[in-house]
Structure 1
Amino acid sequence: MSVQPESITTVGILGAGRVGTAVARQALKAGYEVRIATAKPAQEISLLVDIITPGAAAVDAAEAAASDLVVVAVPLHKYRTLSPQLLAGRTVIDAMNYWAPTDGEVDDFENDPRTSSEIIQDFLPGARLVKTLNHIGYHELEEDDKAPGRPGRRALALAGDHDDAKAAVAGFLNRLGYDAVDAGSLVAGRAFQPGTEVFNGSHTSHQLQNLLAAACARVGV
């Protein structure tokens, strides 16, 4: 099911941690209908959602996954709690990172040469996965947004193997207040993983394009 940027009205967020709730608040600010789900039943998180993300709806995972766009923001080591069936055919943003010094080593990612997003895509074979929102701090997401065309507008990279999904996500990022820069296929997400220059800084679209080109050239992407 192809999703056009202008047709996105509902955003489902899987995960109610700092990243997930920051994305939720920014999406609400941009005018989207936001649904938040965790591994718990909706009624168990409804009060938390009302307090931390007023205006969003606490729902079960199936309802969040049925949104026009789904953002996965669970702790990466819990990725197997995601449902491949629920996310099949969906445009899904992977906002997760593998960062062993902070989160500890996870065999699935430590012993696999692929990027974390490639592994997630393999686990969710029916989803159209797009890597982004992983290289901006959750607090910065709500502070650095600017209207299109404003000088110094911050840019965010995205990577994925499905052009229609990337176009939809680029439109979403624009409404959140950021320029979107397409890094290429999902493997190119390596260029903005933790520890990279892209991950560690704030960049305009022109700056980000140059950094991504240089980083992808270094790793042969």
Structure 2
Amino acid sequence: MNIGIIGAGHIGSALATRLTSLGHSVYIANSRGPDTLKDVAQQTGAQAVTAQEAARHGDILVVTIPLKNIPELPKDMFAGVAANVPVIDTSNYYPIIRDGQIPELEAGDLTESEWVQQHLGRPVVKVFNNIYADHLRTKGLAKGTAGRIALPVAGDDAEAKQKVMALVEELGFDAVDNGSLHESWRQQPGTPSYGADLPADKLRELFIQLGPKRTEAQHAEYLANHAKLQREMAEKGAT
């Protein structure tokens, strides 16, 4: 396939490396322009382009940039892009260490990817946000292999979700349907699925236990977990 990636950080670069190794044609972009991506292009095998060129590359688009930068994406980014091209969102909300507070996400009703979807004006599919980039690069396994990691996939467009789930499987992970985009809170930071590298059966069991609608108690618990995680990340970054 032809796949565009907007964002050349840890997840974007890991995906570019894996996808090119599988034979896909990958265009990768960042906010500073293709001239700043020469090393990334050499390391990953992807072609460095502008955000508009990445968006128009073809079959699937991945948006993997800091959440706070979503509103700064080019307003004409989707000009000429077919409506049936799935848009993958990998973002996570880190208010303490990166994004600052986003009022719409503080109330608890709107999920991170619903907020992204509103700003992009296109349906998005949430995946690749709850796995470490190094694991995404190195821990894919053949279907049926013991220890294969499952990744949750959430979205409102059934056809787009199926295309994305097929890509997840090709990358060496079991794709587990996590319901609608409103249910994607179950894979956000602070939840038991975040960074856990669970197998498919355990991930499905977890989602059943959590239920489709986040309670106030769950929201408070996961906010506290996430705040602790961010403080630990900040401490590691300072050492």
For 2:77, what is the secondary structure of its paired residue?
Answer: helix
Select which of 113, 122, 126 maps to 1:117. 113
2:55 counterpart residue number: 65
Task: Name whichever of 61-70 and 85-94 sits farther off.
Answer: 85-94
2:235 counterpart residue number: none
CA distance in 1, matches of 2:75, 2:193: 30
Amino acid at match of 2:3: V
Give yes or no for the alignment of 1:51 onto 2:42: yes
Give yes or no for the alignment of 1:189 onto 2:187: no
Residue 150 of structure 1: how far off its partner (Å): 1.2
2:131 counterpart residue number: 136
2:150 counterpart residue number: 155
2:229 counterpart residue number: none
Residue 85 of structure 1: how far off its partner (Å): 4.1
Select which of 23, 26, 37 maps to 1:31. 23
2:209 counterpart residue number: 214
Q: Which runs of 5+ in 2 are unaligned?
A: 216-239
Select which of 10, 31, 36 maps to 1:18. 10
Partners of 2:67 and 2:92 within 8 A in 1 = yes
Q: 1:168 to 1:102 in 2, by over 3 A?
A: same
Identity within the alignment, %: 34
For 1:146, what is the secondary structure of its paired residue?
Answer: coil
Amino acid at match of 1:48: D
Residue 204 of structure 1: how far off its partner (Å): 0.7
For 1:142, what is the secondary structure of its paired residue?
Answer: helix
CA distance in 1, matches of 2:68, 2:37: 24
- How many residues are treated as equivalent by the alignment? 209
Partners of 1:77 and 1:106 within 8 A in 2 = no
Amino acid at match of 2:141: K
Partners of 1:84 and 1:123 within 8 A in 2 = no
Residue 84 of structure 1: how far off its partner (Å): 5.3
2:173 counterpart residue number: 178
Amino acid at match of 1:34: V
CA distance in 2, matches of 1:217, 1:163: 17
CA distance in 2, matches of 1:167, 1:84: 27
CA distance in 2, matches of 1:104, 1:52: 28
Alpha carbon RMSD of aligned pairs, Å? 1.8
TM-score, length of structure 1 as denominator length: 0.88
For 1:194, what is the secondary structure of its paired residue?
Answer: coil
Q: Which runs of 5+ in 1 are unaligned?
A: 1-8
For 2:166, what is the secondary structure of its paired residue?
Answer: helix
**Over residues 21-49 of structure 1, what are the superposed CA-to-partner deviations in whole Å (9 max), with x where a residue is unaligned?**
0111111122211110112232x134222
Amino acid at match of 1:198: S
Amino acid at match of 1:33: S
Partners of 1:152 and 1:204 within 8 A in 2 = yes
Q: Which has the larger radius of gyration?
A: 2
Residue 52 of structure 1: how far off its partner (Å): 3.0
Q: Identify which of structures 1 and 2 has the higher relative contact order when contacts are C-alpha pairs closer than 8 Å and 6+ apart.
A: 1
Residue 218 of structure 1: how far off its partner (Å): 5.9
CA distance in 1, matches of 2:159, 2:138: 28
Q: 1:61 to 1:158 in 2, by over 3 A?
A: same
CA distance in 1, matches of 2:125, 2:197: 20
2:141 counterpart residue number: 146
Partners of 1:158 and 1:180 within 8 A in 2 = yes
Residue 86 of structure 1: how far off its partner (Å): 2.6
